[in-house]
Amino acid sequence: MAEFVRHAWSVARKDLLVEFRSRTAILSAVVFTVLVLMVFNFGRDPTAVAAVDLAPSILWVTFTFAAMLALNRAFQLELENQALEGLLLAPISRGSIYLGKLLANLIFVGVVEAIGLPLFALFFNVRILPVILPLVGVIGLATIGFVAVGTLFSAMTVRTRFAELLLPVLLLPFMIPPLIWAVLATARLLADRPLSEITGWLKMLAAYDIVFVGLAFLLFPATVNE
Amino acid sequence: MRLLRAGRWITAIGLVLLAGIYVRALAFTPIERFQGPAQKIFYVHVPAAWCAMLAMGLVGIAGILYLLLKDPRFDRFGEASAEVGTVFSLVMLTTGPIWAKPIWGTWWTWDARLTLTLFLFLLFIGYLVLRGAVTEPSLRARYSAVLGICGIPLLVFIHLSVYLFRTLHPQPIVLKPSAPSLPGPMLVTLLMSFGVFTLLYVGFVVQRYALSYLREQLEAAGGTGGGGGGGHA
């Protein structure tokens, strides 16, 4: 078990190190997030709609697009010099490769979200500090869910012809349920509603995470075995 | 080929029975008191939705069996079921708004079940697009099996969401813990319609399965494949 976690961590560390050395993907993802937030700002009429009413959708559409960028990158990395074959030849289980990839993606998306969230609060003048803890919880739970499915799917789409286009087409139907729950929960939080109103959504998000992390873990070997 | 002929017969019988269902629904089933004649579309909409769900469920089960047994027959079945499911979900998505307009006063509403069944349709499309994007048969079979399996829990979450959200959609009236609350003659018509739609599903799938089998044979024999893929049985 300790072995397994250690292997997963070395896969994740490898990905993060490659990312840290080049910094192109993370920088473009952050700039992309800022740009999407700006587009939303110009796309609404501030006199007609209060920022707080639009804020949850803005936040989640931005995070969805940013996560999609990150997920496309996850296995693209391994295409160069047939690195994926090397990874598969390593004496570690397929499960720990999946877990490592998932972990790296989560950290990547998490960093983008950690930068995006304060910017979002700044641009749209939304008070997030009083609800920061539950908000981070909602973001975390939703992110785990769709990054788990996305990591599995990007392992498949990367070897197809229209990888960049196919991933969103496959992944979006799976992202919608957690997104709906996350948007509803975020809206309640930003409207200063009591926490008890969002426990239902949190439970659904947690159930989704458990089901899809488990399933993706079991199915991942089928997507990479030769 | 025997299978293709059998599929055609089943479909033909299904189509004749479908005409019978229309006659029974329109002429021999009482008109619903509140909704009037518009409610007749119920006998098409709900069975179509049932077939779309059934198709997705079977795509998932075929995926599991394929990954366990590596038998190409399950992959062929999954492909056939997904294509037929796409058609049935299209029927569901077109009859739904036609029913909704007179009753709810709007063609489309972002109600939970509506939204998520739209995504069921998109899931079918995604499945078929994925199949088109992978050329190697065994890789394509494994990828589509994985996607199909992931579809099943998504369906479960769709059903959970129906209970969680306040929605315009009617709550289940037949498959629920207490006795069905649909009046007798309507229930009989609905159940007959379920049977006929399921028969049509089987007929279509058998034909589609036979066609992809023929196409594989053709490709294996060195033919160009692609093209129409059928027409001669």
Sequence-distant (≥ 6) Cβ neighbours of residue A76 within 8 angstroms: A158, A163
Residue with token string 């587009």? A39
Q: What pLDDT is attached to residue B230?
A: 42
Is residue B129 within 8 A of residue A166, CB to CB? The reply is yes
Query: Could you count the other beta carbons within 10 Å of the beta carbon of residue A103?
Result: 20
Structure tokens at B142: 């494994």
Q: What pLDDT is attached to residue B164?
A: 66
Domain spans of chain B, in order of start: 2-217
Q: What is the pLDDT of residues A171-183, one digit of tens each?
A: 988 988 898 889 9
Band of the pLDDT at B170, cuts 50, 70, 90? low
Report d(CA A199, CA B164) in Å as an integer.
12
Mean pLDDT of chain A: 88
Sequence-distant (≥ 6) Cβ neighbours of residue B57 within 8 angstroms: B152, B155
Angle at B154 between CA A36 and CA A199, to 5 degrees: 70
pLDDT at B159 over 90: no
Structure tokens at B120: 């069921």
Chain A positions in Cβ-Cβ contact with residue B119 (cut-off 8 Å): 172-173, 176
Chain B positions in Cβ-Cβ contact with residue A219 (cut-off 8 Å): 67, 146, 149-150
Do A173 and B164 make contact, defined as CB atoms within 8 angstroms?
Answer: no
Report d(CA B127, CA A127) in Å as an integer.
42
Domain spans of chain A, in order of start: 2-224
Q: Which of B116, B133, B142 lies nearest to residue A160, judging by beta carbons?
A: B133
Q: Which of B139, B146, B154 lies nearest to residue A219, judging by beta carbons?
A: B146
Average the pLDDT over each of A18-22, A147-151, A204-208 and give the range with the smallest value. A18-22
At residue B166, φ and ψ (nearest 5 deg) are -75, 130
Do B139 and A162 make contact, defined as CB atoms within 8 angstroms?
Answer: no
| pTM for this predicted structure | 0.85
Q: In B134-183, which ranges are continuous DSSP H helix?
A: 137-164
Structure tokens at A97: 């490769």
Q: What pLDDT is attached to residue B223?
A: 61
Q: Judge whether B69 is closer than 8 Å to chain A, CB to CB.
A: no
> Taking the alpha carbons of B15, B21, B24, B27 in that order, is the dihedral positive or negative?
negative
Q: What is the pLDDT of residues B77-134, one digit of tens each?
A: 999 999 999 999 999 888 888 888 888 888 887 766 677 678 789 899 999 999 999 8
Do A223 and B142 make contact, defined as CB atoms within 8 angstroms?
Answer: yes
Q: Judge whether B116 is closer than 8 Å to chain A, CB to CB.
A: yes
How large is the average pLDDT for residues A144-151?
Answer: 93
Q: What pLDDT is attached to residue B228?
A: 45
Q: What pLDDT is attached to residue A82?
A: 78
Structure tokens at A95: 């499960």
Q: Which of A173, A180, A225 lies nearest to residue B154, judging by beta carbons?
A: A173
Q: What is the pLDDT of residues A95-128, one digit of tens each?
A: 999 999 999 999 999 999 999 999 999 888 888 8
Sequence-distant (≥ 6) Cβ neighbours of residue B2 within 8 angstroms: none
Band of the pLDDT at B233, cuts 50, 70, 90? very low
Q: What is the ipTM of this complex?
A: 0.87
Task: Tell me what percent of the residues of chain B surpass a pLDDT of 70.
Answer: 84
Q: What is the pLDDT of residues A44-99, one digit of tens each?
A: 777 777 777 888 888 999 999 888 888 888 888 788 777 888 888 888 888 999 99
Top pLDDT among B182 and A154 is at: A154
Residue with token string 């969230």? A117
Mutate: best of B147, B149, B159, partner A, most A CBs <10 A: B147
